[in-house]
Homo-oligomer: A and B are copies of this chain.
Amino acid sequence: MKKLGILGGGQLGRMLLQAAANYPVVTHVLENDPDCPAAKLCHHFTLGDFRNYDDVLTFGRQVDVITIEIEAINVDALETLEKEGKTVIPSPAVLRTIKNKVTQKAFYEHHAVPTPSFVVTHTLTELQQHADKLPAVHKVGEGGYDGKGVQMLHSVDDFSKGFDAPAVLEQKVAIATEIAVIAAVDQAGKVVLYPAVEMVFDPVLNLLDYQLCPAQVAQTVHWKAEAIVMRLVKAFGSPGLFAVELLVDKQGEVWVNETAPRVHNSGHHSIEAHYSSQYDMLLRILLGYPLGSPEAQSASALVNLIGEPSFSGPARYEGLEEVLKMQGAYVHIYGKAQTKPGRKMGHVTLLGTDRVDLMRKARQVKEGLKVKA
């Protein structure tokens, strides 16, 4: 049986392992927390730091195929492993490009992939020379994750909140809709795309409220998005799963916001709603099997379960029973013992055919199910 190594042991690794149990594969996980969500679902758990060269090298040498569930890994070690003949998916070169937002943006520009207009800044002093770009988003090159490392700059007064490090200053696009498309690329370069999903934001809090699939955008927007994602993954030239976040402006133009070279939050719904889930699809790619079908069996909504503000401690899922009574509701709790404000603790996928009904149910879950301590 092939030995698969996964760098990172969070919920993405956990769900990848749930799917891996369908295939003949021996699984290894590297993570520095023995209680991480993936620790107890793999054949072999290695306590170590995926940011550390030696830890990744030692870990990678004992397996046949290596993948990631987080970008903040040691790319140097993956390059060494690739030279030593290991299969690394996605390729270390693509990981290097993507994990730094400056090189990621430069890559889009170089390959004529539409992306919001930007300049690169290296210091706060340099940032202050770009008042003409405001309002803008300042994104630090390396180290940003889960909302950290991104700062909205509305006026010159906000410049002090920017990053005194290499960063991208991106002009704000007048966004009509945010969508995401996941591309799956097998080891021979064959590509299939999942249908675009649509992010629905809370108009008051401006936070992601829930996600719908399929995205309700004009057919031309679907076509543009698919063409852009196809061009992008062809440019990457690497096997793997790529989750591409796209902005749709009020004129119907489509822009790449950013890409994650891995399974992604925006693909969780595929577990129940699509023929081949993003996890199943990545495993097929890793194991050299034929790609699955990304087609939807059902329309779906996805609600993230986020630790409530002002609650820290052992997690409690208030309202869980009511959600479990809903037909077509699938609860995924990630097995994190402790909740804290904003922590991703689980998600709920809802199946249905009627978009309005899905929206109603998504709000019901959002309002009825709370992660508290």
Contact = CB atoms under 8 A, between A and B. Distances in A.
A337 interface: yes
Given A18-B18, A292-B324, A298-B297, A331 B23 contact: yes
A227 interface: no
B293 A327 contact: yes
A290 interface: yes
Interface stretch (A36-44, A78-86, A169-177): A36-44
A320 interface: yes
A325 B275 CA distance: 11
A107 interface: no
Interface string A314-335: 0101001100110110111101
Contacts of A203: none
Contacts of A22: 330-333
Give the copy number.
2
A289 B321 contact: yes
B14 A317 contact: no
Contacts of A17: 21, 41
B325 A290 contact: yes
A1 B337 contact: yes
Interface residues of A, number: 38
A284 interface: yes
A275 B21 contact: no
A346 B100 CA distance: 43
Nearest to A41: B41
Contact of A275 (B40, B284, B328, B337): B328
A295 interface: yes
> Among A15, A43, A284, A335, which residue has the most Cβ atoms of chain B within 10 A?
A335
Contacts of A289: 320-321, 324
Given A40-B43, A43-B40, A284 B23 contact: no
Interface in A243-298: 275, 284, 289-290, 292-293, 295, 297-298
A24 interface: yes
Contacts of A1: 337
B18 A21 contact: yes
A88 B321 CA distance: 22
A41 B21 contact: yes
Interface in A326-360: 327-328, 330-333, 335, 337, 351
B24 A317 contact: yes
B335 A21 contact: yes
B43 A324 contact: no
Contacts of A284: 324
Contacts of A328: 275, 293
B290 A321 contact: yes
Contacts of A332: 22
A317 B293 CA distance: 21
A289 B322 CA distance: 9
17 contacts: A17-B21, A18-B18, A18-B21, A22-B332, A22-B333, A24-B317, A40-B41, A40-B42, A40-B43, A275-B328, A284-B324, A289-B324, A290-B324, A292-B324, A293-B328, A297-B298, A297-B351
Interface of A: 1, 14-15, 17-18, 21-24, 27, 40-43, 275, 284, 289-290, 292-293, 295, 297-298, 315, 317, 320-321, 324-325, 327-328, 330-333, 335, 337, 351
Closest 3 CB pairs of A and B: A293-B327, A40-B43, A290-B325
